[in-house]
Amino acid sequence: MVLFAKDVAEPTFLSLPPDTNALDAARLMKEKRQGYVIVGSENKPIGIVTEWDYLSKIVAEARDPSKVTLRELMSEGLISVSDNDGIESIARIMTERGVRRVLVLHDGNVIGVITSRTILARLEEYVDQVSVTIARLQAPPS
């Protein structure tokens, strides 16, 4: 039993244009309860802004968030995976690259985002299911 990216991707995520100011984006992030925003469009992402970007690039530098755009805050070089990649390989990629979010692509289009929280929750479910299967296989015949 293998879980694939398409099985665990969160299909709803916040995506905003790069010229959006950081204050407006933060308000939307709060409203949607998202710790990140994909910059660009859903089908043409160019970067990501996370709560760490706000802390390190606005708060720590005492900048006015209404005068900072997402383009100025974003990290480029988004990590993406195929919708048919297994959850184990995605977890490995996230660990090796030191990222907490990856985009899931199907035919070049973003179909969702996988977060480290999603991975942890799904891996727990996966391990439980595998454990039950193993226990059934090891049970003496009735």
> Is the Cβ–Cβ distance between 16 and 70 less than 8 Å?
yes
Strand stretches in the chain, DSSP E: 15-16, 36-41, 44-50, 80-82, 101-106, 109-115
What per-residue confidence (pLDDT) applies to 139?
A: 76
Structural domain for 70, as ranges? 5-138
Model confidence over 42-95: pLDDT tens digits? 678 999 999 999 999 999 999 999 999 999 999 998 999 999 999 889 989 999
For range 31-46, the mean pLDDT = 89
What is the domain-level CATH number for residue 80?
3.10.580.10
Which residue in 54, 48, 58 sits closest to 30, CA to CA? 54
State the Cα–Cα distance between residues 65 and 77, nearest whole angstrom: 23
> Is the Cβ–Cβ distance between 85 and 4 less than 8 Å?
yes
Model confidence over 83-129: pLDDT tens digits? 999 988 998 999 999 999 999 999 888 999 999 888 888 777 777 77
Percent above pLDDT 70 for the chain:
98
pTM, 2 dp: 0.80
Q: How many domains does the chain have?
A: 1
Instruction: For residue 11, give the DSSP letter.
Output: S
3-state secondary structure at position 114: strand
Asked if pLDDT for residue 130 goes beyond 80, the answer is: no
What per-residue confidence (pLDDT) applies to 124?
A: 74
State the Cα–Cα distance between residues 132 and 90, nearest whole angstrom: 24
What per-residue confidence (pLDDT) applies to 80?
A: 94
